[in-house]
Structure 1
Amino acid sequence: MNRVTAWVTEAVPRGRIAAFRTLVYLFVAADLVVFTPWVRHHASTPGDLYQPLLAGRLLHLPTPTPLIVHGIFWALLVLGLAAATGRAPRLLGWAVFALYFEWMIIAMSYGKVDHDRIGLLVALAALPTAGRARHGDPTRTEAGGWALRVTQIAVVCTYFLAAFAKVRFGGLDWVTSSVLARAIIRRGTELADLIAGVPYLLILAQFGIMLFELGSPVIFFVKPRWRNWVVAFFYSFHVVTFATITISFAPHLAALASFLSLEKIRPVTWARGFLARRRGHVREHERPVV
């Protein structure tokens, strides 16, 4: 086994796969009703406005109709919640991926294409290959490691290729342009207005964004004990982005969790322990006084 193969299939605890799987599938359900409920409006959009993405054209996917859009919505909502339990990981996983893929084709075939979905789509495609996994299971799995690694690569590519796109379409002058100024005018917050008032700060921020995106692959080279700090920096970048120009990268943030040791987060176990302590506390108070 060469170094590249060993790196791509680096084994991880099955508990991490179980936690990441639950997080991703719960996000899919939340995405339908919280983050992108507007996709359902395409059920009533005239069919001649539908300009399918290349994938939609290659697969000859049908023009969205009320039956197709609402059918996918409810099927995806039910199957996403079912997949979050970890049962039938391959059957439910492939079904969720197929339905969500079509959901994204419907969402992005009317003139607007978001780049924050790539990591999530890769995660949905890779998770069914990881097999069964239980929360808290310390057994290590290479198949699960591969699923997380390809998701991580997609996450980093989202950043790096975003910088490439900026240079490709905006040239090197992008860093000294008025991109952030226009974004603040269109959708800025009060915090953004304060920042915009500081001379040259927006230009400095654009240099920082470019350096951050180009330097994102460094996360693969830092030592494990520093990786969480790098991930925290990535998350803080998106917090600031949302706090200033209200752009949410929620699907990307869900995929970004593939870098975290999620097996250490066990809410079910914590809840059971809390309830057990509560029952013990109640019994203690119910003992008769001698």
Structure 2
Amino acid sequence: MTRWLTEAVPRGRVAAFRTLIYLFVAADLVIFTPWVRTRVSVPGDLYQPLLVGRLLPLPTPTETLVTVIFWALLLLALLAATGRAPRLLGWAVCALYLEWMIIAMSYGKVDHDRFGLLVALAVLPTAGRARHGDPTRTEAGGWALRVTQIAVICTYFLAAFAKLRFGGLDWLTGSVLARAIIRRGTDLADLIAQVPYLLIVAQFGIVAFELLSPVVFFLPPRWRHAMVGFFYSFHAVTIATITISFAPHLAAMTSFLPLERVRPLVWARRLVRRDTPDDAPPADPTEADPVPTGQRSTDANPVPTGQGPAGSGAEPALDGQASALGRPLGP
């Protein structure tokens, strides 16, 4: 079990995963959860902190507190994405993002798609230093990725458990997807909803896939990547039908992928070099394919002197060519 938890991975994979996760945190602040800053306008009495917020305890959000967290987290996440000071910056980003999520989820709604991302932020500082493209293997980095993978799969498995715990078997045969389509469905979802019993079949399929998600750990690498690809395709359909993205979960799920093969900066450099014109002067065409003096001919089918048919005019033409090349006339 210990060997499986700490299976060594290339440091380049850890570096790529770290950069992706911290860049996502920065994007999350300005794209996915900028609404957290509006919580300061909500009366403090409505702030009901999560259990972790009550245990620490954390202060009731104010405009100053939320603004400081926003700008500090944005700056530190961008710095952490460079890979410098992985422990110091990593722990700082983890603490600030946890507080950001506590503020976001303490007003009555908790999103389960943040679990894998929060676990990734908690374990990345333990992976140590890692450089992009470094093939050296690290057990510490392997442990960080493995724990993140477990959190991703727990998100699926526990979601199915919650469906059956609170909804029972009625969740499978009810109108869960139908209500979701009415609330936020797309044109594609409207087409799917017209097919009889398809939504019921989809609900059975969702619970089955979530309960069977731990199988991914028992598959060989090639099939494991195929199953992870199915996970991504499931979320693509979810976005296309009921516009739920699960973006933080998708970012954490890249812990399954061989990210060390993705080198955008290297690809960009190669593209720039390929498009850069050659400054060397063009070669002399006569030097590229030299022909010894006396053997060049402008005639496509030259006829040796004295072998042309009588009265054909071949000899005068060849004599002219020979004169031009500096050869003696006549035999």
What interval of TM-score do these two structures reach, taking the shorter chain for normalisation?
Answer: over 0.9
Amino acid at match of 2:176: V
User: In 2, distance between residues paired with 1:283 and 1:44?
Assistant: 62
Instruction: Give the drift of 1:201.
Output: 0.2
Instruction: Give the drift of 1:225.
Output: 1.3
Conserved 8 A contact 1:43-1:70: no
Cα shift readout 1:48-88 (whole Å, capped 9, x = no counterpart): 11000000000100100001101100000000010000010
2:244 corresponds to: 247
Instruction: Give the drift of 1:36.
Output: 1.0
Cα shift readout 1:152-184 (whole Å, capped 9, x = no counterpart): 000000000000000000001211010000000
TM-score by length of 1: 0.96
User: In 2, distance between residues paired with 1:40 and 1:138?
Assistant: 41
Aligned positions of 1:152-167 closer than 5 A: 152-167=149-164
Conserved 8 A contact 1:184-1:192: yes
User: In 2, distance between residues paired with 1:146 and 1:50?
Assistant: 36
Aligned positions of 1:25-40 closer than 5 A: 25-40=22-37
1:97 corresponds to: 94
User: In 1, distance between residues paired with 2:68 and 2:40?
Assistant: 10
User: In 1, distance between residues paired with 2:177 and 2:34?
Assistant: 27
State which of 104, 107, 113 in structure 2 corresponds to 1:107: 104
Cα shift readout 1:15-46 (whole Å, capped 9, x = no counterpart): 00000000000000000001111111112221
State which of 244, 269, 274 in structure 2 corresponds to 1:277: 274
1:261 aligned to 2:258?
A: yes
1:223 corresponds to: 220
Aligned positions of 1:178-217 closer than 5 A: 178-217=175-214
User: In 1, distance between residues paired with 2:116 and 2:136?
Assistant: 25
User: In 1, distance between residues paired with 2:112 and 2:3?
Assistant: 29
2:289 corresponds to: none
User: In 2, distance between residues paired with 1:26 and 1:72?
Assistant: 16
State which of 8, 11, 14 in structure 1 corresponds to 2:11: 14
User: In 2, distance between residues paired with 1:261 and 1:288?
Assistant: 43
Instruction: Give the drift of 1:261.
Output: 0.2
User: In 2, distance between residues paired with 1:103 and 1:144?
Assistant: 26
Q: Name the count of aligned residue pairs.
A: 284
Query: What is the RMSD computed on CA atoms of the aligned residues?
Result: 1.0
Structure with the greater alpha carbon radius of gyration = 2
Q: Identity over aligned residues, as a percent?
A: 78
Conserved 8 A contact 1:160-1:214: yes
Q: Which runs of 5+ in 2 are unaligned?
A: 285-331
User: In 1, distance between residues paired with 2:123 and 2:279?
Assistant: 47
Higher helix share: 1
Cα shift readout 1:172-225 (whole Å, capped 9, x = no counterpart): 121101000000000000000000000000000000000010010011011011
1:62 aligned to 2:59?
A: yes
1:131 corresponds to: 128
Amino acid at match of 1:237: F
Conserved 8 A contact 1:119-1:151: yes
Cα shift readout 1:85-140 (whole Å, capped 9, x = no counterpart): 00100000000000000000000000110000000000000000000000000000
| Higher RCO (C-alpha under 8 Å, 6+ residues apart) | 1
Change (3 A) 1:64 1:14: same
Q: Which runs of 5+ in 1 are unaligned?
A: none
TM-score by length of 2: 0.84
2:233 corresponds to: 236
